Structure 1
Amino acid sequence: FLIFSSSIFLLKIINIAAFIFSLYFSYIISSLLSFILAIKEFPKEERKIYLWDSIKEILKFGSVSQLGNVIQYLNYRLSYYILNYYTTLALVGVYSVGVMFSETVWMIPGSISLVQYSRIANSEDLDYSRNLTLRLAKFSFIATLFVVFIFILLPYDIFSGMFGKDFKPVKSVMIYLSPGIAIFGYTVIISHYFAGTGRYIVNTKADFLGLIITLIFNFTLVPKYGYIGAAVTASLSYLTTGLFLLFSFLRETKTRGKELFISMDDVEFFLIKAGLKNMVIK
């Protein structure tokens, strides 16, 4: 931000290139500083060994993880380009606002998964990691579903009042996106289980499967149904990715299917954690 501000106020450079340059430069600076600070944590006599081992680990896991990130980005954003090709830029705007509102719900599972990932990555107890993942996935799903339900209850006129009458259909986009958005609240926690245990390849496979669904159904539904077709496609992609992750989790952790659902033990656990012990039914 400071570099970008300097480019504008000191160098009088006001264009997109200044922002992009500042962004890259800030990433490079922060990465170098992080690297230097991390190296200082290692004993001097062992720094070369740790450094080489770390580079190998980064290349081993990072390449698979970044490939998954690229596929995931295409999965999330390819609909815009296909929608723009078959319809108009105005309809892309309607769809974009609907996606923007819907994806704000993902801050809930995103925040939960950060805590989950740090705990799993620093634990060698797979049973603990499995149980933690199941508990957090259920809580994340409930919280996500609640917010999605609130969004669906919002009247159409709110969006036309905020963005103009042409954006009244934004709610329709959100309604068709809601099944996929809700299931994502559960499965993003599952995906971080695999990330935390070093099996990024599972997430990459799930993202690739979702991308295939995105390609097939976008070219099938968007020409006929426009932004509604794009929203349905996105939901199908999220659901497909989620189901793959769930089946992979069940298979690898030997978890029974019924354990994926909320039980009375889970309810009691959440109430106790929330400090509502008196509501726990014995």
Structure 2
Amino acid sequence: MSIAYGGIIAFLFRGVNLLVALATILLTSRELSEGDYGLFVLSLSVIGLVNAATGGITAATAYQISNRRREPALVALNSGSLAAALGMLAILAGVVATAAFRGEVSQVGVAVGVSAAAIISNSVLAGVFLGRESLVRYNLALVTPPILSLVAIGATFVAFDHRSPEAALAAYAAGQCAALVAMLVLGRSLLRGGASFDGSLTSAVLRFMALAGISSGISYLNYRADLFVVTHFEGKEGAATYSLAVYLAESVWQVSGSLALATYARVGSLSRDEAAQLTTRVMRHTVVLLGAACLALFAAADLLETVIAGDKYQGMASALRFLIPGVLMYSLAQSFSGFYTYQRGLPWVAAVVAGTGLVLDMVLAFILVPRMGINGAALASSLAYSGAILGGLAVFVRKERLRPSQVFRFGRAELDDYASLVGRLRGLVSR
């Protein structure tokens, strides 16, 4: 499967995910007050942080299947036992938060905990699909939860006439749980077999998960920590406006994520040199495709503010433009992370890059947000993204004995990928 063809498959699903996320944003931002929408966004950020911190279980599961050649049912059982324990802890934390705190936290604690538990369990199934290079089922594991959550939120707002952040989050949790049941049914053929608990495998998954989870958690904080800085200086209203700019800017990562996703299983099974060459090819595709997407997004920023944000969230367009250069540079982080996670088994390398970006982002945000508002947060993120990934790429190029041009120069191999894609599409049309 060529990078272009595999990337198209993944991008089609991620495009659906993007549209669902946009629909969720439009629905909740317009049906909730600005302050309530800010609470909803912050609650989803907490869920996202838990998802990122435990998302290493997806990488750990896929690594054991693709790189270590373990049976899917065996890995699923052992990874699933860890996911179940983590899920119960998440629910317990939500119950404790509801009982121990007053006000907004008590209203959303249980829904946040249940959502996190369902997401953690679904991550195991996603890892099984990814390890088997079953891209359709893997992508279904990614798009089904937000689709069902959107349906549940819409029903809560329209059919039951409940318009509050706690009602929206309860509906979100219900959608995540329904998606988990659907994915268990979808993956039942891979979960059959004489699997048993294996202490050494469980320990290996736990170690890998912890390292990958730290990396994912730091990466997520790198993406979202400045949202809390904006909330501190600009209030929930500023956070709501900034979150829209961030969402639009990071939407282009659906392209880079799709390209990287199409090669994760192969990166894990190839030799180190071959995997490094494949990774640089993905990076070259990323630079060209995202460069075009970012230029279009930059030019359309004012129009997007008018159509999506309106008068309610003024200032989104300028923040979006500040974010775009850094988002373009950091799009290379997904293939960089895939190489060190699935090929080298060193997820902590990505954590170092993300951690560097996080430190830079927080330092710059506390300096720039008081002076520039949400534009300062956007500029801080852009500078931090660029500095962190350039440092990581310098190490990657040196260690793998590559030339910088192999990362950034689009060449013959990439043209062949698209020629192959055109040939496949012509074949489908002519049938």
- TM-score normalised by the shorter chain: which range applies? 0.7 to 0.9
| Partners of 1:117 and 1:195 within 8 A in 2 | no
The equivalent of 1:208 in structure 2 is 355
Q: Is the 2:281–2:407 contact (alpha carbons within 8 Å) kept by the matching residues of 1?
A: no
Secondary structure at 1:56's aligned position in 2?
A: helix
Letter matched to residue 152 of structure 1: F
1:41: how far off? 4.4
Residues 151 and 239 of structure 1, relative CA distance in 2, 3 Å threshold: same
CA distance in 2: counterparts of 1:139 and 1:221, whole angstroms:
33
Distance 2:368 2:119 in 1: 39
Q: Tell me the TM-score normalized by structure 2.
A: 0.54
2:273 pairs with 1:181: no
Alignment of 1:256 with 2:403, yes or no, is: yes
Q: Which residue of 1 aligns with 2:267?
A: 120
Corresponding residue for residue 142 of structure 2: none
Cα gap change, 1:225 to 1:259, in 2 (>3 Å): same
Contact 2:255–2:286 (Cα < 8 Å) also in 1: yes
- Percent identity between the two aligned chains: 21
Counterpart position of 1:247: 394
Measure, in 1, the Cα distance between the counterparts of 2:337 and 2:113: 33
- Structure-2 separation of matches of 1:161 and 1:205: 38
Deviations 1:192-246 (A, max 9, x none): 1111121111101111111110121011111111111100111112112211221
Residue of 143, 147, 169 corresponding to 2:289 = 143
Q: 2:250 aligned with 1:103, yes or no?
A: yes
The total of aligned residue pairs comes to: 257
Select between 173-182 and 137-146 the one with higher mean Cα deviation: 137-146
Aligned match for 2:310, one of 157, 164, 170: 164
Cα RMSD between the aligned structures? 2.8
Q: CA deviation at 1:103?
A: 1.1
Instruction: Please say if 1:230 is aligned against 2:322.
Output: no
Q: Which residue of 2 aligns with 1:20?
A: 112
How far apart, in 2, do the equivalents of 1:271 and 1:24 lie? Answer: 39
* TM-score, length-scaled by structure 1: 0.80
Deviates more, 1:226-235 or 1:56-65: 56-65
Q: Report the Cα offset of residue 154 of structure 1.
A: 1.0
Identify if the C-alpha distance between structure 1 residues 111 and 85 changes in structure 2 by more than 3 Å, giving closer, same or farther.
same
SS at match of 1:199: coil
Alpha-carbon shift at residue 106 of structure 1 (Å): 0.9
Distance (Å, rounded) in 2 between the aligned partners of 1:275 and 1:167? 42
Is the deviation greater in 86-95 or in 262-271?
Answer: 262-271
Cα pair distance change 1:216/1:25, threshold 3 Å? closer
1:154 to 2:318 alignment: no
Larger CA Rg, structure 1 vs 2: 1
Q: Deviations over 1:158-179 (max 9, x none)?
A: 4134322243421211111111
Q: Which amino acid aligns with 2:363?
A: I
SS of 1:256's partner is coil
